[in-house]
């Protein structure tokens, strides 16, 4: 696919990117090479190839999902400048 300076400027405008004409001229052949590589990839025969989530065939070890409150309230509130009824006490900010 041939990428021109006008296409680069149009895509940049759609993406709200500020690109001047000189930079667009430099980007056009680079983007053309990238699109050429993508076209080469579309020619690869992938029939019968399973999609991969990971290149290494391994199962992840999962831990048991246990719900707890952590039981750290007293330790956390010990660092607070002021605590009231098990909560942080902060100055009133709304009149």
Whether 28 maps to a domain, the answer reads: yes
How many domains does the chain contain in total? 1
34 located within any domain: yes
- E-strand ranges in 1-95 read 83-84, 87-88
Question: The whole model's pTM is what?
Answer: 0.49
Please report whether residue 69 resides in a domain. no
DSSP labels for 66-91? ----TT-HHHHHTTSS-EETTEE---
Centre a 10 Å sphere on the Cβ of residue 16 and count the other Cβ atoms it contains.
Answer: 6
Which of these, 21, 57, 47, lies nearest to 6 by C-alpha position? 21
pLDDT per residue, tens digit, the chain (95 aa), is 689 999 999 999 999 999 999 999 999 999 999 999 999 988 999 898 888 877 787 777 888 888 887 888 889 999 999 999 989 999 888 87
Residue 48 located in a structural domain = no
């Amino acid at each position: 696919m041939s990428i021109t300076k006008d296409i680069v400027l149009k895509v940049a405008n759609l993406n709200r990117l500020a690109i001047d004409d000189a930079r667009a001229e430099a980007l056009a052949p680079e983007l053309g090479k990238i699109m050429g590589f993508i076209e080469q990839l579309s020619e690869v025969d992938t029939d019968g190839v399973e999609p991969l989530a990971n290149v290494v065939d391994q199962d992840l070890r999962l831990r048991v999902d246990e719900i707890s409150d952590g039981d750290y309230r007293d330790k956390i509130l010990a660092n607070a400048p002021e605590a009231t009824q098990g909560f942080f006490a902060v100055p009133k900010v709304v009149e």
